[in-house]
Amino acid sequence: MCSASSNAKRGSSPTVREGVRSDVFAPSLTVGLLPRGQTPQFYVTTEPRPELTLNSCAGYYPILALKSRALGFLNILSFMGFATTAIHAGQEPDSAAGAVSIPIYQTSTYAQDGLGRHKGFEYARTSNPTRLALERNLAALEGAKFGYAFASGMAAIDATLRLVKAGDHVIVSDNTYGGTNRLFKRVLANYGIEFEFVDTSDVTNVESAIKDNTRMVFVETPTNPVMIVTDLKAVSDVAHAAGARVVCDNTFMSPYLQRPLEFGVDIVVHSTTKFLNGHSDGIGGAVVLNNEDDANWIAFIQNSAGAILSPFDSWLVMRGTKTLALRMEQHDKSGRAVAAFLEDHPKVQKIYYPGSKSHKQHDLAKRQQKGFGSMVSFDVGTLAAARTVLESVKLCTLAESLGGVETLVCHPATMTHASVAPEVRERLGITDGLVRISVGIEDTDDIIADVDQALSKIGK
């Protein structure tokens, strides 16, 4: 979905004059659109343009404004692809030493020049330069104006739910992450918030569940672990007609493969632990959005509740996003290959992967996503068979989590979704025989060979 102010409408470009690129610049959050087909060049505006919004609408180049220290407060607008944005957005060289990598500002407080005179930072819970750089980076990757980093994906989701209050009704994808299910049903429901879990892959279910007090629709697409896809535009249209916000957990796809805000979603949440970090060495979460009032409240919650991402973990995620485009290409390539192998394997009863033509929402996934990703689930029939596979792999690692460079396998029924009631798990397809694999970026043939030898042990 394309959203831009009157200063950046379809078919028009921002009022700019051609200028000289500064050798020293600092990325800001000012972003916008320029029509495709123009010769890429640099432009300089004479005033800040905070009203522009980053988009990747058909027919437009995304542009990212860069504040130049050398030229004063000027915005340099350049044509930015996803990989370029991932590497440069929010990543200005350090002003003190010129370090290309953002420093880890491991401090709890900041020296002030006098009463009420500081450099923009007062206390590290409220703001930290390393975390701020990451927040700008993540906002740019999702095409958002605002981004906030949290101590975990669950902390990010919890902060987002502070946008509703006691007496409000929230519609949730029924096959959502077990931790989300637990937070909603066993924690937040105790504070008067009404949660209703429905199959959001059928928009009529969402429409039927709408009430006068519905204030939010929370979707996960594709879902964890049976990979159900929700039509984000259709659900957003229904929710907005009822005056409700739409939140999407985009962890499984990452902004490289899916950008929910473009389909009308209001807020995107991530577990940065997964693909954004990509190296299985840090826990974190993020909230990105465009609405300024909601953003101000999220920022207030972030500071008040204090579930912030540490400077070191912020740096780890920034390290990860720099290679996100490259990693997701390989994740997607290997994910498709592993899914195709599993679909033809005699020991596998069923696979769950939107890239498979047998997936009932394959066409929707093709329209809504840039690729299909590396998350594949498959059913081998029984707990004993699943145990054999999981305990026989050699290259793959039996572990919780996903999205790392290494291939991880897990048993959702006893691991990621153990907190979900057994009868609900069974109804959703999370059987005792279900195995989930997060396909890494090792050589694809090696991953397939390992899974094949593990499957061959079933029944022996």
From first to last of its 460 residues, the chain has per-residue pLDDT tens of: 343 333 333 233 333 323 222 222 233 333 333 333 433 333 333 333 343 333 333 333 344 443 333 322 223 334 579 999 999 999 888 888 999 999 999 999 999 999 999 999 999 999 999 999 999 999 999 999 999 999 999 999 999 999 999 999 999 999 999 899 999 999 999 999 999 999 999 999 999 999 999 999 999 999 999 999 999 999 999 999 999 999 999 999 999 999 999 999 999 999 999 999 999 999 999 999 999 999 999 999 999 999 999 999 999 999 999 999 999 999 999 999 999 999 999 999 999 999 999 999 999 999 999 999 999 999 999 999 999 999 999 999 999 999 999 999 999 999 989 888 889 898 889 999 999 999 999 999 999 999 999 999 998 8
Instruction: Give the whole-angstrom CA distance, residue 269 versus residue 285.
Output: 7
Q: What is the model's pLDDT at position 312?
A: 98
Partners of residue 172 on adjacent β-strands: 197, 218
Helices (H), 163-291: 178-182, 203-209, 232-241, 254-257
| Residue from 259, 274, 327, 425 carrying the catalytic annotation | 274
Catalytic-residue membership of 177: yes
- Domains, the chain, in order of start with CATH, read 13-80 (no CATH), 129-321 (3.40.640.10), 325-455 (3.90.1150.10)
Q: What is the model's pLDDT at position 244?
A: 98
Residue 79, number of CB atoms within 10 A of its CB: 17
Catalytic-residue membership of 148: no
User: Closest by alpha carbon to 197, among 169, 237, 162, 168?
Assistant: 169
- The token pair at 39 is 């010769």
Catalytic-residue membership of 249: yes
Instruction: Give the whole-angstrom CA distance, residue 343 versus residue 451.
Output: 13
- Contact between 99 and 93 (Cβ < 8 Å): yes
Q: Which residues contact 125 (CB under 8 A, 6 or more apart)?
A: 303, 306, 308
| Residue from 43, 61, 148, 177 carrying the catalytic annotation | 177
Catalytic-residue membership of 274: yes
DSSP 8: G
| Residue from 125, 319, 333, 387 carrying the catalytic annotation | 125
| Residue from 249, 266, 332, 379 carrying the catalytic annotation | 249
Q: Which residues contact 310 (CB under 8 A, 6 or more apart)?
A: 151
Three-state DSSP class for residue 260: helix
Q: What is the model's pLDDT at position 44?
A: 33
User: Closest by alpha carbon to 51, among 145, 146, 147, 148?
Assistant: 145
User: Closest by alpha carbon to 257, among 330, 341, 343?
Assistant: 330
